[in-house]
Amino acid sequence: MRLNTNVLEKLQDIGGQNLVSKMFDLFEQNVRTRLTVIEEGIHTRDVQQTVRGFHSIKSSAGNIGAEDLMELASAGEENAADWAQSELKTHFVKTKNEFKEVVKILNRKREGLTQ
Amino acid sequence: MRRIALVEDNPDNRLLVTAILEDSYEIDEYENGRYALDGIRSNPPDLILLDISLPEMDGTEVLERIREDDDLKSIPTIALTAHAMTGDREKYLSMGFDEYLTKPIVDETVLFNTIHHFLD
Protein backbone atom coordinates (compact mmCIF):
# COMPACT_ATOMS: atom_id res chain seq x y z
CA MET A 1 0.00 0.00 0.00
CA ARG A 2 1.67 3.21 -1.17
CA LEU A 3 0.22 6.59 -0.28
CA ASN A 4 2.26 9.41 -1.75
CA THR A 5 2.57 11.95 1.05
CA ASN A 6 3.64 14.67 -1.41
CA VAL A 7 0.17 14.52 -2.93
CA LEU A 8 -1.47 14.88 0.47
CA GLU A 9 0.80 17.82 1.31
CA LYS A 10 -0.16 19.43 -1.98
CA LEU A 11 -3.86 19.05 -1.15
CA GLN A 12 -3.18 20.57 2.25
CA ASP A 13 -1.42 23.53 0.59
CA ILE A 14 -4.29 24.09 -1.82
CA GLY A 15 -7.23 23.89 0.56
CA GLY A 16 -6.08 23.03 4.07
CA GLN A 17 -7.47 20.27 6.26
CA ASN A 18 -10.99 20.95 5.07
CA LEU A 19 -10.09 20.05 1.46
CA VAL A 20 -8.09 16.99 2.50
CA SER A 21 -10.98 15.73 4.59
CA LYS A 22 -13.53 16.31 1.81
CA MET A 23 -11.26 14.62 -0.74
CA PHE A 24 -10.98 11.55 1.50
CA ASP A 25 -14.77 11.40 1.85
CA LEU A 26 -15.43 11.79 -1.87
CA PHE A 27 -12.71 9.25 -2.72
CA GLU A 28 -14.34 6.67 -0.48
CA GLN A 29 -17.85 7.33 -1.74
CA ASN A 30 -16.83 7.31 -5.38
CA VAL A 31 -14.69 4.17 -5.22
CA ARG A 32 -17.36 2.22 -3.28
CA THR A 33 -19.91 3.16 -5.93
CA ARG A 34 -17.56 2.31 -8.80
CA LEU A 35 -16.67 -1.08 -7.33
CA THR A 36 -20.35 -1.98 -7.34
CA VAL A 37 -20.65 -0.73 -10.93
CA ILE A 38 -17.63 -2.82 -11.99
CA GLU A 39 -18.98 -5.94 -10.30
CA GLU A 40 -22.27 -5.53 -12.17
CA GLY A 41 -20.39 -4.81 -15.38
CA ILE A 42 -18.31 -7.97 -15.09
CA HIS A 43 -21.44 -10.00 -14.33
CA THR A 44 -23.36 -8.63 -17.32
CA ARG A 45 -20.26 -8.47 -19.55
CA ASP A 46 -20.73 -4.75 -20.07
CA VAL A 47 -17.35 -3.61 -21.38
CA GLN A 48 -18.03 0.13 -21.30
CA GLN A 49 -19.43 0.09 -17.79
CA THR A 50 -16.49 -1.92 -16.49
CA VAL A 51 -13.86 0.19 -18.27
CA ARG A 52 -15.43 3.40 -17.01
CA GLY A 53 -15.58 2.05 -13.46
CA PHE A 54 -11.88 1.24 -13.36
CA HIS A 55 -11.06 4.52 -15.09
CA SER A 56 -12.90 6.49 -12.43
CA ILE A 57 -11.15 4.62 -9.61
CA LYS A 58 -7.79 5.32 -11.26
CA SER A 59 -8.58 9.01 -11.31
CA SER A 60 -9.83 9.16 -7.71
CA ALA A 61 -6.86 7.15 -6.42
CA GLY A 62 -4.47 9.53 -8.16
CA ASN A 63 -6.04 12.54 -6.47
CA ILE A 64 -5.08 11.28 -3.00
CA GLY A 65 -1.78 9.66 -3.98
CA ALA A 66 -2.94 6.04 -3.59
CA GLU A 67 -0.45 4.84 -6.17
CA ASP A 68 -0.88 1.06 -5.91
CA LEU A 69 -4.64 1.41 -6.21
CA MET A 70 -4.14 3.69 -9.20
CA GLU A 71 -1.93 1.10 -10.91
CA LEU A 72 -4.35 -1.74 -10.20
CA ALA A 73 -7.26 0.28 -11.56
CA SER A 74 -5.24 1.20 -14.64
CA ALA A 75 -4.46 -2.47 -15.30
CA GLY A 76 -8.13 -3.32 -14.67
CA GLU A 77 -9.16 -0.72 -17.22
CA GLU A 78 -6.90 -2.33 -19.82
CA ASN A 79 -8.11 -5.85 -18.94
CA ALA A 80 -11.70 -4.70 -19.23
CA ALA A 81 -11.08 -3.12 -22.63
CA ASP A 82 -9.59 -6.42 -23.83
CA TRP A 83 -12.23 -8.36 -21.85
CA ALA A 84 -9.82 -10.86 -20.32
CA GLN A 85 -12.55 -12.26 -18.06
CA SER A 86 -10.52 -14.40 -15.64
CA GLU A 87 -7.78 -11.77 -15.23
CA LEU A 88 -10.46 -9.17 -14.85
CA LYS A 89 -12.07 -10.96 -11.92
CA THR A 90 -8.69 -11.37 -10.25
CA HIS A 91 -7.96 -7.71 -10.81
CA PHE A 92 -11.28 -6.71 -9.40
CA VAL A 93 -10.62 -8.62 -6.18
CA LYS A 94 -7.13 -7.11 -5.88
CA THR A 95 -8.53 -3.63 -6.46
CA LYS A 96 -11.22 -4.17 -3.84
CA ASN A 97 -8.68 -5.42 -1.29
CA GLU A 98 -6.31 -2.55 -2.00
CA PHE A 99 -9.16 -0.10 -1.54
CA LYS A 100 -9.82 -1.56 1.92
CA GLU A 101 -6.17 -1.01 2.82
CA VAL A 102 -6.28 2.58 1.58
CA VAL A 103 -9.40 3.25 3.65
CA LYS A 104 -7.63 1.99 6.78
CA ILE A 105 -4.78 4.44 6.17
CA LEU A 106 -7.19 7.28 5.42
CA ASN A 107 -9.03 6.62 8.66
CA ARG A 108 -5.76 6.93 10.56
CA LYS A 109 -4.98 10.15 8.67
CA ARG A 110 -8.46 11.45 9.51
CA GLU A 111 -7.78 10.90 13.21
CA GLY A 112 -4.63 12.98 12.77
CA LEU A 113 -6.58 15.74 11.01
CA THR A 114 -9.05 16.06 13.87
CA GLN A 115 -6.39 16.17 16.61
CA MET B 1 -14.04 37.46 -13.22
CA ARG B 2 -13.59 35.15 -16.24
CA ARG B 3 -15.77 32.06 -16.24
CA ILE B 4 -14.74 28.43 -16.77
CA ALA B 5 -17.04 25.47 -17.40
CA LEU B 6 -15.77 22.34 -15.68
CA VAL B 7 -17.28 19.16 -17.14
CA GLU B 8 -16.31 16.21 -14.97
CA ASP B 9 -18.26 13.28 -13.52
CA ASN B 10 -15.95 12.42 -10.61
CA PRO B 11 -17.01 14.63 -7.68
CA ASP B 12 -13.52 14.55 -6.16
CA ASN B 13 -12.02 15.87 -9.40
CA ARG B 14 -14.58 18.68 -9.49
CA LEU B 15 -13.83 19.58 -5.90
CA LEU B 16 -10.07 19.63 -6.49
CA VAL B 17 -10.13 21.68 -9.69
CA THR B 18 -12.61 24.12 -8.17
CA ALA B 19 -10.45 24.48 -5.05
CA ILE B 20 -7.44 25.30 -7.25
CA LEU B 21 -9.20 27.81 -9.50
CA GLU B 22 -12.03 29.41 -7.53
CA ASP B 23 -10.02 32.38 -6.26
CA SER B 24 -9.15 33.38 -9.83
CA TYR B 25 -12.11 32.25 -11.91
CA GLU B 26 -15.82 31.68 -11.63
CA ILE B 27 -16.46 27.96 -12.09
CA ASP B 28 -19.62 26.38 -13.57
CA GLU B 29 -19.64 22.69 -12.68
CA TYR B 30 -21.33 20.03 -14.82
CA GLU B 31 -21.36 16.33 -14.02
CA ASN B 32 -22.19 15.02 -17.47
CA GLY B 33 -22.09 16.02 -21.11
CA ARG B 34 -25.80 16.68 -21.59
CA TYR B 35 -26.04 19.06 -18.62
CA ALA B 36 -22.86 20.72 -19.83
CA LEU B 37 -24.18 21.36 -23.34
CA ASP B 38 -27.41 22.82 -21.97
CA GLY B 39 -25.53 25.06 -19.54
CA ILE B 40 -22.85 26.13 -22.00
CA ARG B 41 -25.45 27.01 -24.63
CA SER B 42 -27.51 29.10 -22.25
CA ASN B 43 -24.53 30.76 -20.57
CA PRO B 44 -21.34 30.42 -22.64
CA PRO B 45 -18.14 30.41 -20.57
CA ASP B 46 -14.74 31.86 -21.52
CA LEU B 47 -13.07 28.43 -21.46
CA ILE B 48 -14.08 24.79 -21.02
CA LEU B 49 -12.25 22.07 -19.08
CA LEU B 50 -13.70 18.86 -20.48
CA ASP B 51 -13.21 15.34 -19.15
CA ILE B 52 -13.15 12.61 -21.81
CA SER B 53 -14.73 9.72 -19.94
CA LEU B 54 -18.25 10.92 -19.17
CA PRO B 55 -21.53 9.05 -18.77
CA GLU B 56 -24.13 9.06 -21.58
CA MET B 57 -22.16 11.36 -23.90
CA ASP B 58 -18.37 11.30 -23.72
CA GLY B 59 -16.12 14.33 -23.92
CA THR B 60 -15.25 13.89 -27.59
CA GLU B 61 -18.94 13.96 -28.52
CA VAL B 62 -19.48 17.04 -26.34
CA LEU B 63 -16.58 18.70 -28.17
CA GLU B 64 -18.11 17.83 -31.56
CA ARG B 65 -21.38 19.50 -30.56
CA ILE B 66 -19.49 22.57 -29.32
CA ARG B 67 -17.52 22.87 -32.56
CA GLU B 68 -20.73 22.50 -34.63
CA ASP B 69 -22.33 25.44 -32.85
CA ASP B 70 -21.45 28.85 -34.33
CA ASP B 71 -21.97 30.54 -30.97
CA LEU B 72 -19.68 28.16 -29.11
CA LYS B 73 -17.10 26.85 -31.55
CA SER B 74 -14.42 29.41 -30.72
CA ILE B 75 -14.45 28.74 -26.96
CA PRO B 76 -11.05 27.29 -25.95
CA THR B 77 -11.66 23.72 -24.83
CA ILE B 78 -9.08 21.79 -22.87
CA ALA B 79 -9.20 18.01 -22.46
CA LEU B 80 -8.68 17.17 -18.80
CA THR B 81 -8.31 13.45 -18.64
CA ALA B 82 -6.81 10.42 -16.95
CA HIS B 83 -6.30 8.92 -20.43
CA ALA B 84 -2.54 9.29 -20.49
CA MET B 85 -1.27 6.62 -22.83
CA THR B 86 1.39 7.27 -25.45
CA GLY B 87 -0.21 9.06 -28.38
CA ASP B 88 -3.27 10.26 -26.45
CA ARG B 89 -2.16 13.89 -26.50
CA GLU B 90 -1.85 13.87 -30.32
CA LYS B 91 -5.12 11.96 -30.62
CA TYR B 92 -7.14 14.47 -28.61
CA LEU B 93 -5.50 17.53 -30.16
CA SER B 94 -6.28 16.14 -33.61
CA MET B 95 -9.93 15.79 -32.56
CA GLY B 96 -10.09 19.54 -32.02
CA PHE B 97 -9.20 20.11 -28.40
CA ASP B 98 -7.11 23.23 -27.92
CA GLU B 99 -4.94 21.64 -25.26
CA TYR B 100 -4.61 18.40 -23.33
CA LEU B 101 -3.92 18.05 -19.60
CA THR B 102 -3.66 14.84 -17.64
CA LYS B 103 -5.08 13.88 -14.25
CA PRO B 104 -4.21 13.60 -11.48
CA ILE B 105 -3.18 17.24 -11.36
CA VAL B 106 0.26 16.97 -9.78
CA ASP B 107 1.25 20.57 -10.41
CA GLU B 108 -1.47 23.19 -10.36
CA THR B 109 0.81 25.76 -12.04
CA VAL B 110 0.55 23.74 -15.27
CA LEU B 111 -3.22 24.09 -15.10
CA PHE B 112 -2.98 27.83 -14.37
CA ASN B 113 -0.41 28.46 -17.10
CA THR B 114 -2.50 26.63 -19.67
CA ILE B 115 -5.61 28.61 -18.78
CA HIS B 116 -3.64 31.87 -18.79
CA HIS B 117 -2.41 31.07 -22.28
CA PHE B 118 -5.97 31.15 -23.58
CA LEU B 119 -7.57 33.77 -21.37
CA ASP B 120 -4.93 36.38 -20.60
What CATH number has the domain bearing residue A101?
1.20.120.160
Got the DSSP string for chain B? --EEEEE-S-HHHHHHHHHHHTTTSEEEEESSHHHHHHHHHHS--SEEEE-SS-SSS-HHHHHHHHHH-TTTTTS-EEEEES---TTHHHHHHHTT-SEEEESS-S-HHHHHHHHHHHH-
Domains detected in chain B: 3-119 (3.40.50.2300)
C-alpha B82/C-alpha A104 separation (Å) is 25
Domain count, chain A: 1
Of A14, A22, A60, which is closest to B10 when you measure between CB atoms?
Answer: A60
Report CB contact under 8 Å: A14, B108. yes
Looking at this predicted complex, what is its ipTM? 0.89
pTM of the model: 0.92
> pLDDT digit string (tens) for B59-112?
999 999 999 999 999 999 999 988 777 788 899 999 999 999 998 888 899 999
Residue A72, domain extent: 5-114
Contact list in B for residue A38 (CB cut-off 8 A) is: none
Beta bridge partners of B93: none
